[in-house]
Amino acid sequence: MRRLVYFSPLSPNPSGGVKVIYRHVDLINAMARPHATAAVYHFDGPGRQCDWYEDTVTLKTDPMFLADRDFVVLPECHLQDFWQRFSEQSIRYAIFVQNAYLVGSGAPWEAIASAYRRASLILSISDDTTMCLQALFPELSARIVPVRWSLSPERFRPIPDPPKVISFMPRRMGDHAMNVRLHLRGRLPNGWALRPIDGLKETQVAQALASSRIFMAFSGLEGLALPPAEAALCGNRVVGYHGQGGREYWDSALFREVAVGDIRGFAAAVLEEVDVIEREVASGRPDAPRIESMRIARNLLAWRFSPEREAALLRAFVDRALDCMPSGPQV
């Protein structure tokens, strides 16, 4: 039996990147592909699982790897710690790039380029990530494999008449979040509240976002920012930064872009969205065309990040990974 082993740090706090890795492993194992399983290897805590993950993921606990059994998936931000070992042992590996803007950090460029040239495949989380990789490594374009994360429509969905809450995640660009909050202080109508979302499990995040009307997105340079899409599916109007990768889903019916660093413009955009909601509540007549355009955009967003689409991309990756592995006895 061949095994795809995803390397991951053991994150003590909820991490979108680690959650994507866990989800991929769960989906690959659920596929029941012939001769293929998957597992997570926490290199800084083998055998332990992140306790904020609400399901149980398959773990690899021992440090032994075999060339005819294991295909390794290394995160782009920890690549330099491991790739030479596997290259020397003729163990095939892929690089999972969840943020192309981390590719050049932590090592001399020639070492980074060598790691990518030796990789059998390069997983890309978004269209923007793919374009960055093609610009950095044009000769490796054929090795790039698109993958995505998914959102459960049963979990991330609107509720009727949510409270007047503006939510945000304070760990993302915290200095920007602090300054926007200062500019909103004393300017919100009565009954509105600012609510941070931090340290919650996925179910709790979904509940918090559904109990919100506006979400402030402070995405830095990211491969494919997850929280803005979660918030939009929960019925929020999202205001803020798309983090570059988020451009591929940033539909103006749901998302309002703010130039990065425009703190006063950010606060003004939030207040304008608040004013729209206040007028609708006061009149008792929601803007029907606006509501309908948001509904259509949410449906498209749900399709883009559906579990079925994620699984289809993963099946293509698994098939290519197995094709890369040497023939021979399997354990």
Q: What distance in Å separates the CA atoms of residue 97 and residue 146, rounded to the nearest whole number?
A: 10
The boundaries of the domain holding residue 222 are 165-305
Query: Percent of the chain scored above 70 by pLDDT?
Result: 98
Regarding predicted confidence, which is higher, 34 or 174?
174
Whether 144 and 178 share a structural domain:
no
CATH code (residue 271):
3.40.50.2000
The pTM of this model reads: 0.93
Shared domain for 293 and 320, answered yes or no, is: no
Place of tokens 């988020």: 246
CB 208 within 8 A of CB 168: no
- Whether 213 maps to a domain, the answer reads yes
Q: Are residues 93 and 228 in the same domain?
A: no
Indicate whether 13 and 140 sit together in one domain: yes
Phi, psi (deg, nearest 5) at residue 27: -70, -40
Tokens of 203: 């179910």
Domain assignment of residue 211, yes or no: yes
Whether 198 maps to a domain, the answer reads: yes
Q: Is 31 helix (H, G, I), strand (E, B) or coil?
A: helix
**Residues 37 and 127 grouped into a single domain:** yes
What is the number of H-type helices and E-type strands within the chain?
Answer: 10, 11
Three-state DSSP class for 75? strand
Structural domain total, the chain: 2
In a domain, 122, yes or no: yes
160, part of any domain: no
254 and 238 co-located in one domain: yes
**What digits encode the pLDDT tens for the residues 100-135?**
999 987 789 999 999 999 999 999 999 999 999 999
Q: Are residues 282 and 318 in the same domain?
A: no
**What is the H or E stretch that residue 222 is in?**
none
- Dump pLDDT digits (tens) for 149-173: 999 989 999 999 999 999 999 988 9
Residues 197 and 295 in one domain: yes
* 109 and 77 housed in the same domain: yes
The runs of H, that is alpha helices, within 63-173 are 83-88, 109-118, 127-136
Q: Is residue 157 part of a domain?
A: no
Residues 51 and 116 grouped into a single domain: yes
Residues 119 and 85 in one domain: yes
* pLDDT band, residue 330 (cuts 50/70/90): low
Structural domain includes residue 155: no
